[in-house]
Structure 1
Amino acid sequence: MADVISSFKSLSTKMQELATLEMDRLFSDMRLLAENTNVKVYAATRLDSGSSVALKCVQKETTKKTDFLREFYCNSYLSPHPNIVTCYDEAYATEAYYAFAQELAPVGDMSKHVKRGGVGDKRAKRVVEQVVFALEYIHKKELVHRDVCLENIFIFDHGLSRVKLGDFGNAERVGAFVKKLKVRSPWAPPEVSLAVYNEGYYVHSAQDAWQLGILIFVCLTGSYPWSSADITDRHYKSWVAWLKRKTTKMPPRFKCFTPRLLRLLRRLLEPKPEKRYGVEEVYKYLSDPWLLQVDHPGISFDKCSSDIWLGQMWSLQRLVEKKMVDLLHSYLTQPEPVKKESRRCVRFAAEVEAIDIVNLV
């Protein structure tokens, strides 16, 4: 780990002054692939070689240069692994962005390929095995990815026999103290979900193991097991109760899995990080069937476990609109005295704000 840190410090010193340039002097055919509040990713063609690359552009206004350089170096340092996206040894700065070039995944990322019912037993195992191989390598370097999810697994062939883990913007060394961000995510382990906003927690490889468990579930079903690993979430609560043998009733969302896979998920989705197994535990279960045989394609869930599927037919906007219309209808059809009208409006506004998007259906 000392070598990693010293190498990063050396690189940071060397690259503190990034030359400002216009991207169209180096690249052509730039096409937006993805974006969020402070990052844009483009497909582009290098003018000097004609090769296709992915350009990750991070806003200067919201990103410290040291954070950008840390991600760039971390990706470069891990690039030799066959299941980690290759980062080319070039970083740039424009007037508004820091940017670096990576290899372009021709088939996109996993979020565009996992639909309702998942990708099937064999294809799920193909993906998971390659991600485990990458995570093992990362952990041996005493680093933690911290953002294992569909959007960060990139596909290089349609059969999913060649995928790579990318996006090291959240990667940290083991033992680093980081602040909790104000985000509710079905991927986050309980020790992160329970951390107080803007307070910190220590980074550990067990956090990647948890996200690997969620990845297995998502690849096999096309849905999340819960909206948040918090005891206030009824689906997570039922998982913990079953895990601790407080009940013999298996959580409905896990009924499609074989006993062997359930054994693996017990070890990866263990609430206490110190008891959670490492990612390499997955290798012991790759030769076992993961899904129970069913008479129809896809995975069946009962009514009480319905949620938003990754390949949902409705957009989130339509789901929110439907929920708000239902709420409004219930208030308008329940007559109350005029003097209580203002209190009714306040209560309605509070209920609208409390809508849980992940458990709308």
Structure 2
Amino acid sequence: MRSLILASHIFGEGCEPTYTKLKQNNGSMKLSEKKETESKEGSGNQLCHSISSGAINNIHRIQDLQLAEIEMSQIYDVKKVLAEGCYARVLLANHKNTESNVVLKAIYAELTPIKDFYREYHYSYHLSPHPNILDSYNVSFKCDNCFVFAQEYAPYGDLAGHVKLGGLSESVCKLIGNQLSGALDFMHSKELVHRDLKLENILIFAPDFSKIKLCDFGATRKEGTLVSKLRCNWLPFLPPEIYEIIKNERYLCKTSSDSWQLGIILFVCLTGCPPWQMADSIQDPNYAAFWRYQKRRTTKIPVPFKKFSPRALRMFRKIFEHKPDKRAPVTEVLKYMKDPWIECKLQTSSSCSQIVSTSTLVQERKDSIKLYLRQQDGSRNSQENNKNKLNKLVNSYGLETSVDQKAISKRVWEWVLSCDVNAEHVEGI
């Protein structure tokens, strides 16, 4: 059962609002508790609202709310800006009366129609009973030309702040995949598509990643709805069917796009970088290589995927299926939780081997070429006999043998050596 902040804690003692308390029961949401309020005098009552049971019974019925405008500084001490995006700011605030921390998501009213705010707040609130979806509270208002609603605070930030070069451990990535796939499967069971999965929208509630929560439902839509491409999406996260959409073109949103973005998140967590820059088989060589491998046009494993085990490769091939109708659902990753994902080999790959400086490589190459030339000069006598035998054989066929191949070979090596010296000089400059 999730915790619930009362609006009276947020707005003060002058308001005791109606609130609803939701819980998850066998994968479905239902109204478990409802508390009626006593009418009190004061302007604080205008700030209170409740969400009707009809809207809860039908998650796709968005209810319009009466948003009162308040002065935020009179009620909250804003500590800092946690995040800022194209359409909103996320603030960490302290309620003055209760001295409790709460997160306020302030959505710019100039860039966001009021109906879009209603939709985001509605989905955020009614999806929050799931243990891996961020809690949103029954508090919303308007302030400083922003639509604002309250959410719980994630003490360890978002996933983007934890993934470094080289990625996270396999066990941590499996924890993330297990929880994230559960949250998305819950959404998909309600015929909802998140559409904006990325590291910044996954919040951490435990230092060992045993508790993460999905957030930001501003782009969430019912499956099958006509939508436009999001303007602030990171290209590597876009599935091919959405990447190919031109500006202002509309398309039907499907849960398969969430599957693709889940796969990208898992890959980034495992490696520290995306597998490609764009899902375009013409412009991106990494994606072109994976596409050929997926279509079994080659048996060569693409370089970004070489560290993975055969079972992990099978998982990625299914979740990165080019055709959305054949793409595996988000629950596909659960089938591979008991399998190793990282291939352990005795010999290290070039990406994991010790990095040698360019000057050292040039010096080693010069030494090897000089050694080769000395060996060639020292074996001149023995080669001369072999050369005479070869000349006799070639002359017997009437071929010209006046060209000294040894001299040409030596000049070629000396030219290669001079090129290395010039390259070292340019590098020093």
TM-score (norm 1): 0.78
Output aligned runs, 1:1-361, within 5 Å: 9=61, 11-12=63-64, 15=65, 17-182=66-231, 185-231=235-281, 232-293=283-344, 300=351
Separation (CA, whole Å) in 2 of partners of 1:171 and 1:130:
19
Q: Residues 297 and 102 of structure 1: is their aligned pair in 2 closer, same or farther, counting only changes over 3 Å? A: farther
SS at match of 1:289: coil
**What is the one-letter code of the residue matched to 1:160?**
F
1:28-75 CA distances to partner (integer Å, 9 max, x unpaired)? 243111112331111111223322111111111111111011000001
**What is the one-letter code of the residue matched to 1:76?**
Y
Name the stretch that deviates more: 100-109 or 31-40: 31-40
| Match in the other structure for 2:38 | none
Identity %: 40
TM-score (norm 2): 0.66
| Match in the other structure for 1:356 | none
Name the stretch that deviates more: 28-37 or 226-235: 28-37
Aligned-pair Cα RMSD in Å: 2.3
1:81-130 CA distances to partner (integer Å, 9 max, x unpaired)? 00000000111101311111100000000000000111110000011100
Segments of 5+ residues of structure 2 without an aligned counterpart are 1-27, 29-53, 354-429
**What is the one-letter code of the residue matched to 1:39?**
A
Segments of 5+ residues of structure 1 without an aligned counterpart are 303-361
Separation (CA, whole Å) in 1 of partners of 2:139 and 2:347:
50
- CA displacement at 1:8 relative to structure 2: 5.4
Q: Residues 190 and 4 of structure 1: is their aligned pair in 2 closer, same or farther, counting only changes over 3 Å? A: farther
Separation (CA, whole Å) in 1 of partners of 2:313 and 2:59:
41
| Match in the other structure for 1:314 | none
Separation (CA, whole Å) in 2 of partners of 1:299 and 1:22:
59
Separation (CA, whole Å) in 2 of partners of 1:64 and 1:277:
34
- CA displacement at 1:300 relative to structure 2: 3.0
SS at match of 2:334: helix
**What is the one-letter code of the residue matched to 2:63?**
L
**What is the one-letter code of the residue matched to 2:308?**
F
Q: Is the 8 A contact 1:225 1:235 kept in 2?
A: yes
Name the stretch that deviates more: 235-244 or 292-301: 292-301
Separation (CA, whole Å) in 2 of partners of 1:61 and 1:233:
37
